Chain A
Amino acid sequence: MPNILIVAPILFPFILSALLFLNDWEEKTRNRWILWGIILNFFILIFNFSVLEVNRIHILKFNEFVDIYFKIDMIGIVFSLLVSFLWILTAFYSIGYMAHERKPNRFFIFFTATLGVTIGIALAGNLVTLYLFYELLTLFTFPLVIHAGNETALKAGYKYLIYSFTGATLSLFGMFMIYSQTQNLDFMPGGILNVINENEIFYYFTAYALTFCGFGVKAGLVPFHSWLPSAMIAPTPVSALLHAVAVVKSGIFALVRITYYIFGPALILMIKGNHFALALILITILTGSFLAIHQTNLKKRLAYSTISQLGYIMLGLVVFNPNSFTGGMLHMIFHALIKITLFFCVGAIMHITGKTEIHEIQGLGKQLPKLMWCFSLSAVALIGIPPTSGFVSKWYLATGGLQSGSFIIPVVLLLSALLTAGYLLPIITIAFFKPIPNGEPVYQEPLPFMLIPIMILTGIVLLIGLFPNPIINVLETIANTVI
């Protein structure tokens, strides 16, 4: 049974999590287990992708419908590698960050389990499996969101739960509608639905709108976004990983799956689902940017920026042009890397100085130069100033938009890029060019456990902007199979 290995990277984090739960290890032992476990998982994943010949496995099959089924394909590989790589860095960072927080054990139990769930989403072979892991993701990340354990955190947690479950319910409704027509929910590049006749357009439109909105909840689609800023109450590694990377990107990934692997571009164009989606997405981009400008809290500003950036990614998905698709997926990867760096920096600032508001960080650039340089470089990359990575993805998005004959897309992109600059650059100027207020203590740079992941990530962000070609090649291959 070599193909049982496919599920190994999904199961392994759960085993690790169970071990953490069952053993009351010393801090050092625990950290060692977590780090080696997560790194090992990354290599299991790579081993799987390079060695395994069989690429699919049915775990449990109740009937045509409830069928737990995993399949390795290109886009799943990209997503799962991205996730597990970032997980390693976050593990390092969290060990530094959580050293003085309450209940680190509980945090790491759910932290490791969430890795398994996310890889499950990446490797799911049909919509039902995806949905299952999507629900599990909500359940496993919930304890992380309410980790602070106070009233505000619990409230934010409830909000997160209600939004997520409502979303999942909407998409489940859509799934039923699809299933009733196809009797099959396996992912196929280019979609499983055949081109339909006139009077079924409304039916499919409803199904698409429901699934899109449903999975869009996790992807921060306006008007379903308000859980995301609230959930920033969580510890920073959680905000960074879950709310900039794992959870929202799982939402995006689910959207990719339903758009390109269930409905298929041809059908969506026919039912004009893309118009509906495009309208929501453009609103998302602009709302996110505008709201971000008004935030004075660092984490909140980044959260709203996430909403707007997620809009870019979704934009790339619904234009149905190979360039846009590549751009969207590129932005998914780049945004993950950049946003996690930004969050790590903000978390480190909070950890060292206890400051959370933007006006408080005056002159911090002189006190914590390494940290603030990393922050600035990543921020510049997110704005998309050439030759950073953000520029590459936005370039692809804009060309894709132009090729499809729509002028509103480049315009919105430009406008939003300006807004991005508008909300990120002030942070940099305040940190570097404002004088240090009187009576400020001298701060130490963060612990190596926290600083090294940040520096590695910044390095990757810069490098990948200069040499994006290998990734672009992979993504273009995917784009050609699905469109």
Chain B
Amino acid sequence: MELITSFPLAEIFILFISAFLMPFFKKDKHIKIISISFLLIAFILSVFTLMFVFQNGPFYYAAGHIDTILGIQLYIGPVEALLSFVFLFVFILVVWFSFSTIDAEIQENRIKLFYIMVNLLAASILGIIFTNDIFNGYVFIEVAALTSCGIVVVKETQENIKAALKYLIMSTIGSGLILMGIAFIYAFTGHLNIELIHQVVLEDHETFQKSLLITVALFTAGLGVKSAMFPLHTWLPDAHSSAPTASSALLSAIVLKAFAFFLIKILYRMIGFDLVNQFSILTIILILGCCGMIFGSLSAIFQKNIKRLIAYSSIAQMGYVFFGIGLGSPFGAAIAVYHMVGHAVTKSALFMCSGLMIEETGHKTIDRYKGLGHEMPITFALFTLGAFSMIGIPILPGFISKWYLSLECIHLDKLLLIFVVLSSSLLNAVYYFPILINGFFGIENLQDKEYRSKKVPVKKTIPIAILILAMILIGALSKNILDFISPEFGL
């Protein structure tokens, strides 16, 4: 039992170690094996952690057994265990997928770098999720920011460098704000541990009410930049659309979520529900979430590059997460987490499908995808299922989160917000359906063309298929998942 509690730290460590091991190997093949095998080990550990948390409830782990005031502490509750499990799962599948596609996308001498970055990213994401210490969180956030820029720029085209620079600059602004927030909170509580800060804040928040508001605002803005909250999302479409497919999948599916989850930690664990609800900050998050849901979808309608379209859709989907956070109720936060889980799986699958489509057709624009459903039926069918979840076809996770969000709106007596949720899901339909319809029923491109369905090796689609399967499972088990994570938020 004692051993299992150290697994989270071990996960982070072995991933870091694997990243540092890689430079010693020369062959790309070995690098790939190291990358996935260490991810696999971490995944197995996360399964144990999840089971442990499921049976015994949340636990703390002091790294190095130092007294908590000085030392770094990890907190692993149901949400943390679940998120680390799902994210590692996605990581493994994306890395698996990348084996067959990455060679064509980036230069040969960058492949090693790519996998080093991926494993570092995985480690830092886990760090962000587990840590109970905000400064430690900041360090992990920086590592995540650098590595995620790294996996964008690893494909060295003009477009990529530009996008990565834009991303890095925006992300630097975010980091600056977060660090300032940390300095503030440390200045008047004297702690860096989330739990200890929470106690101090509870006791005498009246003496530094305004400073607390500034701190929360700094954290919200800083993490908002990094997780593409509505007006701060400008870097996202460039970065996500120009990156190699595997990177786009990771960035969209995981990195955004980790930052948003850190925001949940700050708002709800560090400050606390009751106190946060007194600030107008939640209303702002809610409004920005709504704007993101609507404008993200509206912008997606006008895109003709498929990866940009999916990237804009990510902004809309992050809007749902912020919507859930901004509702200011425990259940709202739980749905936000659920949406993260569902969206992580779905969006990575969508990006990987789009990557295969681009690879096979050689075109990035959606008007060239007419009749694609006949050319590459498996890939396109998987894409369709993923898109269905985004649109909100019942039982798939996209629907479930919209459903619960609406219910929670009713519960909180904010009926008008349902309208936003529903119109956003309608907008999702507006931009996903043309692709699907043209893919299955548009036949213009098929004339005088050989059917290439046999050319897409099934091997490439297996990871996507597994993700889609997981997506359906997440939809079907939504009640269990929500039951599992809601106690964390005091339900």
A interface residue numbers (CB < 8 A to B): 60, 62-63, 65-66, 132, 135, 142-143, 146, 149, 154, 157-158, 161-162, 165-166, 169, 172-173, 176-177, 179-180
- CB closest residue in chain B, given A172: B422
The answer to whether A173 and B429 have CB atoms under 8 Å apart is no
- CB closest residue in chain A, given B482: A63
Q: How far is it, in angstroms, between the C-alpha of A177 and the C-alpha of B415 when the chains are bound?
A: 8
Contacts of A66 in B (CB 8 A): 394-395, 400, 403
Q: How far is it, in angstroms, between the C-alpha of A177 and the C-alpha of B406 when the chains are bound?
A: 10
Pick the residue among B394, B407, B415, B422 that contacts A132 (CB under 8 A): B394
Pick the residue among A162, A169, A176 that contacts B410 (CB under 8 A): A176
Contacts of B393 in A (CB 8 A): 135
Pick the residue among B395, B419, B426, B443 that contacts A166 (CB under 8 A): B426
For chain B, residues 405 to 442, give those with C-beta under 8 angstroms from any C-beta of chain A: 406-407, 409-411, 415, 418-419, 422-423, 425-426, 429-430, 433-434, 437, 440-442
For residue B242, CB closer than 8 A to chain A, the reply is: no
Q: How far is it, in angstroms, between the C-alpha of A213 and the C-alpha of B452 when the chains are bound?
A: 45
For residue B479, CB closer than 8 A to chain A, the reply is: yes
Q: How far is it, in angstroms, between the C-alpha of A162 and the C-alpha of B395 when the chains are bound?
A: 21
The answer to whether B437 and A157 have CB atoms under 8 Å apart is yes
- CB closest residue in chain A, given B409: A176
The answer to whether B403 and A180 have CB atoms under 8 Å apart is no
With A65-B407, A165-B429, A176-B406 already in contact, the answer to whether A135 and B415 are too (CB < 8 A) is no
Contacts of A165 in B (CB 8 A): 426, 429
Contacts of A146 in B (CB 8 A): 437, 441
The 25 listed contacts between A and B (C-beta, < 8 Å) are A62-B479, A65-B403, A66-B395, A66-B400, A132-B394, A142-B437, A143-B440, A154-B437, A154-B441, A154-B442, A157-B437, A157-B441, A158-B437, A161-B437, A165-B429, A169-B425, A173-B418, A176-B406, A176-B407, A176-B409, A176-B410, A176-B418, A179-B407, A179-B410, A180-B411
The answer to whether A149 and B441 have CB atoms under 8 Å apart is yes
- Residue from B393, B422, B442, B478 having most chain A Cβ neighbours under 10 A: B422
In the A-B complex, list the 6 residue pairs whose CB atoms are closest, starting with the nearest. Answer: A180-B410, A169-B422, A176-B406, A62-B479, A132-B394, A169-B426
Tell me, rounded to whole Å, the shortest Cβ–Cβ distance linking A39 to chain B.
Answer: 30
Contacts of A60 in B (CB 8 A): 395
Contacts of B430 in A (CB 8 A): 162
- Residue from A158, A172, A177 having most chain B Cβ neighbours under 10 A: A172
Tell me, rounded to whole Å, the shortest Cβ–Cβ distance linking B165 to chain A.
Answer: 40
- CB closest residue in chain B, given A207: B415
Q: How far is it, in angstroms, between the C-alpha of A65 and the C-alpha of B400 when the chains are bound?
A: 11
- CB closest residue in chain B, given A177: B415
Main secondary structure of the interface of A (DSSP, over half): helix
Q: How far is it, in angstroms, between the C-alpha of A414 and the C-alpha of B425 when the chains are bound?
A: 43
Q: How far is it, in angstroms, between the C-alpha of A62 and the C-alpha of B394 when the chains are bound?
A: 11
For chain B, residues 374 to 417, give those with C-beta under 8 angstroms from any C-beta of chain A: 393-395, 400, 403, 406-407, 409-411, 415
Q: How far is it, in angstroms, between the C-alpha of A142 and the C-alpha of B393 when the chains are bound?
A: 15
Tell me, rounded to whole Å, the shortest Cβ–Cβ distance linking A216 to chain B.
Answer: 17
Contacts of B478 in A (CB 8 A): 62
Contacts of B422 in A (CB 8 A): 169, 172-173
Q: How far is it, in angstroms, between the C-alpha of A111 and the C-alpha of B31 when the chains are bound?
A: 52
Q: How far is it, in angstroms, between the C-alpha of A66 and the C-alpha of B422 when the chains are bound?
A: 17
Q: How far is it, in angstroms, between the C-alpha of A60 and the C-alpha of B426 when the chains are bound?
A: 25
Tell me, rounded to whole Å, the shortest Cβ–Cβ distance linking B24 to chain A.
Answer: 50
Q: How far is it, in angstroms, between the C-alpha of A158 and the C-alpha of B429 when the chains are bound?
A: 11
Q: How far is it, in angstroms, between the C-alpha of A66 and the C-alpha of B477 when the chains are bound?
A: 12
The answer to whether B433 and A161 have CB atoms under 8 Å apart is yes
- CB closest residue in chain A, given B429: A165
Main secondary structure of the interface of B (DSSP, over half): helix
Number of interface residues of B (CB under 8 A): 28
Tell me, rounded to whole Å, the shortest Cβ–Cβ distance linking A380 to chain B.
Answer: 39
With A154-B441, A169-B423 already in contact, the answer to whether A177 and B410 are too (CB < 8 A) is yes
Pick the residue among B394, B441, B442 that contacts A143 (CB under 8 A): B441
Tell me, rounded to whole Å, the shortest Cβ–Cβ distance linking A6 to chain B.
Answer: 20
Q: How far is it, in angstroms, between the C-alpha of A142 and the C-alpha of B406 when the chains are bound?
A: 28
Contacts of A142 in B (CB 8 A): 437
Contacts of B479 in A (CB 8 A): 62-63
Q: How far is it, in angstroms, between the C-alpha of A169 and the C-alpha of B415 when the chains are bound?
A: 14
- CB closest residue in chain A, given B406: A176
- CB closest residue in chain A, given B438: A154
Tell me, rounded to whole Å, the shortest Cβ–Cβ distance linking B390 to chain A.
Answer: 14
Contacts of A143 in B (CB 8 A): 440-441
Contacts of A63 in B (CB 8 A): 479
Contacts of B423 in A (CB 8 A): 169
Contacts of A162 in B (CB 8 A): 430
Given pairs A157-B441, A176-B406, 10 additional interface contacts (CB within 8 A): A65-B407, A158-B433, A158-B434, A161-B433, A161-B437, A169-B422, A176-B409, A176-B415, A177-B415, A180-B411
Contacts of A135 in B (CB 8 A): 393-394
Contacts of B437 in A (CB 8 A): 142, 146, 154, 157-158, 161
Tell me, rounded to whole Å, the shortest Cβ–Cβ distance linking A175 to chain B.
Answer: 9
Q: How far is it, in angstroms, between the C-alpha of A62 and the C-alpha of B426 when the chains are bound?
A: 24
Contacts of B407 in A (CB 8 A): 65, 176, 179-180
Tell me, rounded to whole Å, the shortest Cβ–Cβ distance linking A113 to chain B.
Answer: 14
Q: How far is it, in angstroms, between the C-alpha of A60 and the C-alpha of B477 when the chains are bound?
A: 11
- CB closest residue in chain B, given A139: B393
Q: How far is it, in angstroms, between the C-alpha of A132 and the C-alpha of B392 when the chains are bound?
A: 11
For chain B, residues 220 to 258, give those with C-beta under 8 angstroms from any C-beta of chain A: none
Tell me, rounded to whole Å, the shortest Cβ–Cβ distance linking B394 to chain A.
Answer: 5
Q: How far is it, in angstroms, between the C-alpha of A60 and the C-alpha of B476 when the chains are bound?
A: 9
Contacts of A180 in B (CB 8 A): 407, 410-411
Q: How far is it, in angstroms, between the C-alpha of A177 and the C-alpha of B419 when the chains are bound?
A: 11
For chain B, residues 445 to 468, give those with C-beta under 8 angstroms from any C-beta of chain A: none
Contacts of B403 in A (CB 8 A): 65-66
Tell me, rounded to whole Å, the shortest Cβ–Cβ distance linking A79 to chain B.
Answer: 22
Q: How far is it, in angstroms, between the C-alpha of A60 and the C-alpha of B429 when the chains are bound?
A: 25
Tell me, rounded to whole Å, the shortest Cβ–Cβ distance linking B315 to chain A.
Answer: 21
- Residue from B394, B418, B430, B443 having most chain A Cβ neighbours under 10 A: B394
Q: How far is it, in angstroms, between the C-alpha of A149 and the C-alpha of B406 when the chains are bound?
A: 37
Q: How far is it, in angstroms, between the C-alpha of A169 and the C-alpha of B409 when the chains are bound?
A: 16
- CB closest residue in chain B, given A180: B410
Tell me, rounded to whole Å, the shortest Cβ–Cβ distance linking A15 to chain B.
Answer: 19
Contacts of A177 in B (CB 8 A): 410, 415
Contacts of A65 in B (CB 8 A): 403, 407
Contacts of B440 in A (CB 8 A): 143
Tell me, rounded to whole Å, the shortest Cβ–Cβ distance linking B418 to chain A.
Answer: 5
- CB closest residue in chain B, given A203: B415
Q: How far is it, in angstroms, between the C-alpha of A356 and the C-alpha of B422 when the chains are bound?
A: 40
Tell me, rounded to whole Å, the shortest Cβ–Cβ distance linking A312 to chain B.
Answer: 31
Q: How far is it, in angstroms, between the C-alpha of A66 and the C-alpha of B425 when the chains are bound?
A: 18
Tell me, rounded to whole Å, the shortest Cβ–Cβ distance linking B316 to chain A.
Answer: 16
Tell me, rounded to whole Å, the shortest Cβ–Cβ distance linking B342 to chain A.
Answer: 14
Contacts of A157 in B (CB 8 A): 437, 441
Q: How far is it, in angstroms, between the C-alpha of A143 and the C-alpha of B410 when the chains are bound?
A: 36
Q: How far is it, in angstroms, between the C-alpha of A146 and the C-alpha of B370 when the chains are bound?
A: 15
Per-position binary interface string of chain B over residues 18-32, scored 1 when its CB falls under 8 Å from any chain A CB and 0 otherwise: 000000000000000
Q: How far is it, in angstroms, between the C-alpha of A62 and the C-alpha of B415 when the chains are bound?
A: 23
- Residue from B411, B426, B440 having most chain A Cβ neighbours under 10 A: B426
- CB closest residue in chain A, given B422: A169
Tell me, rounded to whole Å, the shortest Cβ–Cβ distance linking B432 to chain A.
Answer: 11
Tell me, rounded to whole Å, the shortest Cβ–Cβ distance linking A450 to chain B.
Answer: 26
Contacts of A166 in B (CB 8 A): 426
- CB closest residue in chain B, given A61: B479
- CB closest residue in chain A, given B415: A177
Contacts of B433 in A (CB 8 A): 158, 161
Q: How far is it, in angstroms, between the C-alpha of A240 and the C-alpha of B105 when the chains are bound?
A: 52
Contacts of A158 in B (CB 8 A): 433-434, 437
Q: How far is it, in angstroms, between the C-alpha of A146 and the C-alpha of B437 when the chains are bound?
A: 10
Q: How far is it, in angstroms, between the C-alpha of A154 and the C-alpha of B442 when the chains are bound?
A: 9
The answer to whether B411 and A173 have CB atoms under 8 Å apart is no
Contacts of A172 in B (CB 8 A): 422
Contacts of A179 in B (CB 8 A): 407, 410
